[in-house]
Amino acid sequence: MQRPYKITYKTYFNDRLKEVDFHGEQTYPLYIQVTYRKKTIFFKSYYFDLLSQERYAYKIGRKVIAPKLKDVIGFELKLIQLIVEQLGDAITLEAFKEAYNFYGQDLCSYAEKMLVPNLFLYFKDIDCSSFAWAVAAFNQKKNVLYDLLLDMKKLFTDDAWKRLIQYGDSVTIAYLEMYAFVISKRKKPYWLLTVMEWEKEEVAEEFRAYLSGVEIRGEEQDRILKSMNKLIAYVKEEVANGTLNIH
């Protein structure tokens, strides 16, 4: 009887590279090593790259709340373990990398990448070019689009706001409610929602309960849930086409 092949993996700090700043702490970049059938792949940690961004450090008075390296390692190991369990006997290094790109993706930051160009086109269409270029210059690594949109809502009339969030093939409404849901359920600074988490039925149920709790029911709730499914489909399509590589 043929022995099943064993997959091994670990996280490590790649001391062959230069040290980088992780919210005031100098460290080597975090990498992942995966070995299967005597072949090994190495790649940079997605969560290390994501959570090293300035937007995840929050200042409260003199105190700064920022991600911790031990938590980043924990996120990576949890993701890897899920992938190994999901793929089972069908695992290959190629399948592993594809699953990593899909399940690890943060839906909040992914939605923002879609929405910035959409907002740019909206303001160009209504002949507000200066506003359009200001949006185009938005730095997602330093700022959160959710905050910008809430400020826009304060300035816009109800009709203008409705036109903005319904513009084009937009997931704006879903993004706004998803991010508000994350804020309500997660502690700073870990305001993100991965595909891995969304695929859990209890998280999807929690989101539906959240929507009902803020008086979003019926057809409006269905539209938001369909937009969330559309967002997942976009991620899956990009991963399959090789255009979304998060490591």
Domain count, the chain: 2
Domain identity same for 99 and 115: no
Domain identity same for 161 and 210: yes
Domain identity same for 126 and 221: yes
What pLDDT score was predicted for residue 245? 63
User: Which of 84, 103, 122 marks a domain boundary?
Assistant: 103
Domain identity same for 207 and 128: yes
CB 199 within 8 A of CB 103: yes
Task: Report yes or no on 2 lying in a domain.
Answer: no
CB 111 within 8 A of CB 198: no
Domain identity same for 226 and 144: yes
Domain identity same for 68 and 155: no
Task: Report yes or no on 30 lying in a domain.
Answer: yes
Global pTM value: 0.92
Task: Report yes or no on 247 lying in a domain.
Answer: no
Domain identity same for 33 and 78: yes
Task: Report yes or no on 1 lying in a domain.
Answer: no
CA–CA dist 115, 58 (Å, integer):
23
Domain identity same for 70 and 159: no
CA–CA dist 231, 177 (Å, integer):
13
Domain identity same for 121 and 225: yes
User: Which of 78, 103, 128 marks a domain boundary?
Assistant: 103
What pLDDT score was predicted for residue 209? 96
Domain identity same for 96 and 153: no
What pLDDT score was predicted for residue 246? 60
Q: What does the pLDDT profile of the chain (247 residues) look like in tens digits? A: 444 678 999 999 999 999 999 999 999 999 999 999 889 999 999 999 999 999 999 888 888 899 999 999 999 999 999 999 999 888 999 999 999 999 999 999 999 999 999 999 999 999 999 999 999 999 989 999 999 999 999 999 999 999 998 887 668 889 999 999 999 999 999 999 999 999 999 999 999 999 999 999 999 899 999 999 999 999 999 998 888 766 5
The beta strand positions in 52-129, using DSSP E, are 58-60, 63-65
What pLDDT score was predicted for residue 63? 85
Domain identity same for 233 and 112: yes
User: Which of 85, 103, 121 marks a domain boundary?
Assistant: 103
CA–CA dist 177, 224 (Å, integer):
8
For the beta carbon of residue 180, count every other beta carbon within 10 angstroms.
15
Domain identity same for 155 and 235: yes
Task: Report yes or no on 3 lying in a domain.
Answer: no
Could you tell me the residue range of the domain that residue 20 belongs to? 8-103
Interior angle at CA 230, CA 228 and CA 232, nearest 5: 75
